Amino acid sequence: MREGLLLLLAAALLAAGGCAGADVMSVATLAAKGVPKAAQAARPISDSEEYYLGRAVAARVLGRYPLSQDPQLTLYVNEVGLAVARKSSRPETFRGYHFAVLDTPEPNAFACPGGIIFITRGLMAMCDNEDQLAAALAHEVAHVANKDGANSISKARWTEVVTAMGAEAARQYGGAPGSLVSLFEGSIDDVFKTIVVNGYSRGAEEAADREALRTLSRAGYDPQALPQLLSKMQAKEQAGAGGIYRTHPPTGDRLAKAKTEAGAAPPPKEEAVRSQRFKSLKI
């Protein structure tokens, strides 16, 4: 069963005192519906497994940054984020997209596997209008659509995880073995270090920019908003700012490509209305 592994691991975390959710199925059921070890080890991560992994990664992010308690701001970011997510190449995920604001002046954004996306007040403050905010969120949605977070898990570790699940699940009734919990924690570490500490590869960032430009156009936002935001980021980068600049490739390289690929289409007519709505917020 493709949904089995992370549900099993979620059960393991519950048994260890975690809080993976009340919809965890029993280990015995998973074992009864399991597939051969070799087949499991060869398959990619499923959408539901990606979701549970993303929840755990999001918890790690929230352990480092405080969450904004402004409901109006959170609602607004979700409205803009969902508007672009629906027009992305992956409009739906296992439990849907969820957006939240991190209450820190550091300019940054994080896309957790499965569709939990964070943007900081610092990056929002860098935006001049809603289109630029949509550009930042569309870039993070693209990382989810491309499964960049899940793909950052060590292939050797993932093979260990699914093999351990196939070998040991049938012997466990009340919770998964400690080795699986340890392997799951390692998978979380892989993703967290990629999105928060080391960053994605240059190729992954450029692919996310390309996808963001297409998404913005389909959603009715101005594709030029992405190079505009990158230009503002480049100015901060040259001033020695931290945050997103520690984990992303040089902004100048991304800016040059984004300008070329964005084209010269006129901005949508609704841009002024969106800008006013954006400026009414307290960021």
- Maximum CA pair distance of the chain? 62
Tell me, what's the pLDDT at 23? 35
pLDDT in tens, the chain (283 residues): 444 444 444 544 444 444 433 333 333 333 334 444 444 445 678 898 899 999 999 999 999 999 999 999 999 999 999 999 999 999 999 999 999 999 999 999 999 999 999 999 999 999 999 999 999 999 999 999 999 998 888 777 777 776 666 655 545 434 445 566 677 788 889 999 999 988 888 899 999 999 999 999 999 999 999 999 999 988 876 555 555 555 456 777 888 888 888 877 677 776 778 888 898 988 8
CA count, 13 A, side-chain hemisphere, 75: 6
- Bridge partner list, 117: 99, 111
Tell me, what's the pLDDT at 157? 77
Tell me, what's the pLDDT at 176? 47
Exposed, middle or buried: residue 257 (CB in 10 Å: 0-12, 13-18, 19+)?
middle
**Cα 195 to chain centroid, rounded:** 8
For residue 232, the SS3 value is helix
DSSP tag of 99? E
Tell me, what's the pLDDT at 72? 94
* Cα dist from 256 to 13, 79, 146, 252, whole Å: 45, 29, 22, 6
CA count, 13 A, side-chain hemisphere, 229: 30
Residue-by-residue DSSP string for 117-160: EEEEHHHHHH-SSHHHHHHHHHHHHHHHHTTHHHHTS-HHHHHH
Tell me, what's the pLDDT at 115? 97
